[in-house]
Amino acid sequence: MKKVLIALVMTALITSAGVVFASGQEEVVDDNSVEVLHWWTSGGEAAALGVLKDNLEAEGIEWIDSPVAGGGGTEAMTVLRSRATAGNPPAAVQMLGYDITDWAELGVLADVDDIAEAENWDDVIPEALQKFSKYEGSWIAAPVNVHSTNWVWANLHILDELGLDIPETWDEYIAAMEAADDAGYIGLAHGGQAWQDATVWEAVLVSVGGPEFYEAAIINQEPDALRSPQMLEVFQRMGQLREFLDPNFSGRDWNLASAMVIEGDALFQMMGDWAKGEFFNAGLEAGEDFMGFRTPGTQGTVLFNADQFVMFEVAPELQNAQTLLASAIMDPAFQVAFNTVKGSVPARTDVSDAEFTIIGKNAMAELAAANENGTLFGSMAHGHGARASVKNAMWDVITAHFNGQMTAEEAAEQFVVAVEQAQ
71 vs 316, beta carbon nearer ligand GAL: 71
The answer to whether 71 contacts ligand GAL (rule: CB under 6 A) is: yes
Between CA 128 and CA 214 the distance in angstroms is 16
Task: Map the footprint of ligand GAL across residues 313-352, applying CB under 6 A.
Answer: none
Strand ranges of the sheet holding 186-189, from the earlier edge strand across to the other edge: 186-189, 266-270, 151-155, 290-294
- Which part of the chain contacts ligand GAL (CB under 6 A), choosing from 7-15, 70-78, 152-160, 352-360? 70-78
Rounded to the nearest 5 percent, the helix, strand and coil shares of the chain are: 50, 15, 35
Between CA 336 and CA 360 the distance in angstroms is 11
Between CA 86 and CA 163 the distance in angstroms is 58
173 vs 195, beta carbon nearer ligand GAL: 195
96 vs 158, beta carbon nearer ligand GAL: 96
232 vs 381, beta carbon nearer ligand GAL: 381
The answer to whether 196 contacts ligand GAL (rule: CB under 6 A) is: no
The answer to whether 305 contacts ligand GAL (rule: CB under 6 A) is: yes
Ramachandran angles phi, psi of 23, nearest 5°: 45, 45
319 vs 344, beta carbon nearer ligand GAL: 344
Residue whose Cβ sits closest to ligand GAL: 71
**Contacting ligand GAL (CB under 6 A), which of 26, 35, 45, 317?**
45
**Minimal distance in Å, beta carbon 305 to ligand GAL?**
5
* Sequential DSSP letters for 317-365: GGHHHHHHHHHHHH-HHHHHHHHHHHT-EESSSSS-STTS-HHHHHHHH
Query: Considering just the CA atoms, what is the radius of gyration of the chain in Å?
Result: 23
**Minimal distance in Å, beta carbon 402 to ligand GAL?**
18
**Minimal distance in Å, beta carbon 83 to ligand GAL?**
19
**Minimal distance in Å, beta carbon 406 to ligand GAL?**
26
90 vs 143, beta carbon nearer ligand GAL: 143
321 contacts 29 by C-beta, under 8 angstroms: no
Tell which residue, 189, 154, 238, has the closest CA to residue 412.
Answer: 238
5 vs 69, beta carbon nearer ligand GAL: 69
**Contacting ligand GAL (CB under 6 A), which of 63, 68, 73, 312?**
73
Tell which residue, 222, 145, 99, has the closest CA to residue 231.
Answer: 222
**Minimal distance in Å, beta carbon 16 to ligand GAL?**
36
**Minimal distance in Å, beta carbon 310 to ligand GAL?**
13
Task: Map the footprint of ligand GAL across residues 12-41, applying CB under 6 A.
Answer: 39-40
Task: Map the footprint of ligand GAL across residues 91-150, applying CB under 6 A.
Answer: 96, 147
Tell me the CA distances in angstroms from 389 to 98, 121, 184, 386, one per residue in order.
10, 30, 41, 8
Name, in order, each residue with C-beta under 8 angstroms of 153's C-beta and a sequence gap of 6 or more.
258, 261, 268, 269, 270, 271, 275, 276, 279, 290, 291, 292
268 vs 338, beta carbon nearer ligand GAL: 338
Handedness of CA 129, 131, 132, 137 (dihedral sign): positive
**Contacting ligand GAL (CB under 6 A), which of 382, 384, 391, 401?**
382
Binding site for ligand GAL (CB under 6 A): 39-40, 45, 71-73, 96, 147, 254, 274, 305, 307, 382
